[in-house]
C-alpha cells in the first residue's frame, strides 16, 4: 500500500510508532505514577498517552479499519468479535520494564487481515531501534538510521539460542527441553523484542507457556514471519488472530527451518 507520494503504510506506521515513543520517553524521563488495572497488571500515564497518539493517527490514516488496543480494552472490554481487517495496538509492551527503567519496552502496531498479522512495527523508544515486517520483507533501523533488511537464520547444528524474559525465565528452558528442543544457550530480551531477536538472526526460539493477549504478539509475529520465521501453538497450528477474548494459547516462535 503506497500513496501518491510513494509513502507506504509501513512507513506511516513507523512514523506513528516513533511519535508514540517520543511521548513515552518524555514520561520515562520524569516522575510518573503507577496504577493497577482490574487484572492487577500495572499501567502508567505513558500507556494511555501513547495509545491516544496511535489511535488518533490510525483513525486518520485508515478511518474504515477499526483498532483493538490494550488500554481501550482494559477500560471498555474486549470486542465480542473481530472484523476481517483490523489493527492491534499495544502502546507500551513491557510496562514492568518501563517502570524498572531498563529500556526493554516497545511500541507495537500490527495490521490483521483474515486472522493473519500482515504488517507489524515494533519500536524501542529507549534505543531508537525499529523493526518492521510485511510482504515477506523484514527490516531493522538502529539509532534512527535507515531501515535495512534482516532475516531469521536456520537452526544451527550446535543447538538453539532461546530468547527469554527476565520475568518469565524460571522453568521456561526446562519446559522447552522437555518438548525435545535442543537448547544451547539463552539471551534475555524484554517484551516483543524476543520476536525481533529471532527475526534478525541472533536467537532461534521463543517459547511462551504463559498468558499473552493478541496485542502482545501480533506486531512481533508479523516481523518474524516476514523475516522467514514462524509462530505456532504448542499443537503445531499457526498462531492466528481475532480469537474469542483476544487471548493467545501457549505458543513457540521459531527462526527458519533447517534445509
**For 72-105, how does the pLDDT look when each residue is reduced to its tens digit (9 = 90+)?**
999 999 999 999 999 999 999 988 888 888 888 9
In the annotated binding site for substrate, the residues are 70, 92-95, 216
Q: How confident is the model at residue 69 (pLDDT cuts 50, 70, 90)?
A: very high
The three cell numbers locating residue 152? 531469521
pTM, two decimals, is 0.93
In the annotated binding site, the residues are 70, 90, 92-95, 216
CA 42, 43, 44, 49: dihedral to nearest 10 degrees?
160
CATH class of 9-150: alpha beta
- Could you state, in order of their start, the residue ranges of all structural domains in the chain? 9-150, 160-254
In the annotated binding site for Mg(2+), the residues are 70, 90, 92-93, 216
Q: Do domains 9-150 and 160-254 have the same CATH topology?
A: no
The CATH code of domain 160-254 reads: 3.40.190.80
**For 220-245, how does the pLDDT look when each residue is reduced to its tens digit (9 = 90+)?**
999 999 999 999 999 999 999 999 99
Amino acid at each position: 500500500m503506497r500513496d501518491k507520494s510513494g509513502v507506504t503504510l509501513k512507513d506511516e506506521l513507523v512514523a506513528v510508532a516513533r511519535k508514540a515513543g517520543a511521548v513515552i520517553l518524555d514520561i520515562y524521563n520524569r516522575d510518573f505514577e503507577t496504577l493497577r488495572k482490574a487484572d492487577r497488571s500495572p499501567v502508567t500515564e505513558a500507556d494511555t498517552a501513547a495509545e491516544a497518539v496511535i489511535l488518533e493517527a490510525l483513525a486518520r490514516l485508515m478511518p474504515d479499519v477499526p483498532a483493538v488496543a490494550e488500554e481501550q480494552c482494559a477500560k471498555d472490554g474486549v470486542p465480542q468479535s473481530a472484523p476481517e481487517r483490523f489493527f492491534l495496538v499495544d502502546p507500551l509492551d513491557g510496562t514492568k520494564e518501563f517502570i524498572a527503567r531498563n529500556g526493554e519496552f516497545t511500541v507495537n502496531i500490527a495490521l490483521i487481515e483474515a486472522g493473519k498479522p500482515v504488517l507489524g512495527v515494533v519500536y524501542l523508544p529507549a534505543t531508537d531501534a525499529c523493526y518492521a515486517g510485511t510482504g515477506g520483507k523484514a527490516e531493522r533501523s538502529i539509532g534512527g538510521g535507515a531501515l535495512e533488511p534482516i532475516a531469521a537464520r536456520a537452526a544451527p547444528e550446535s543447538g538453539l539460542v532461546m530468547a527469554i524474559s527476565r520475568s518469565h525465565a524460571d522453568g521456561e528452558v526446562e519446559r522447552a527441553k522437555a518438548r525435545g528442543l535442543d537448547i544451547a544457550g539463552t539471551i534475555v530480551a524484554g517484551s516483543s523484542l524476543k520476536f525481533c531477536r529471532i527475526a534478525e538472526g541472533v536467537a532461534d526460539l521463543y517459547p511462551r507457556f504463559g498468558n499473552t493477549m493478541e496485542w502482545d504478539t501480533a506486531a512481533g509475529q508479523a516481523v518474524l514471519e516476514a523475516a522467514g520465521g514462524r509462530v505456532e501453538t504448542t499443537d503445531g497450528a499457526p498462531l492466528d488472530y481475532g480469537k474469542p477474548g483476544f487471548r493467545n494459547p501457549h505458543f513457540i516462535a521459531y527462526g527458519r527451518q533447517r534445509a
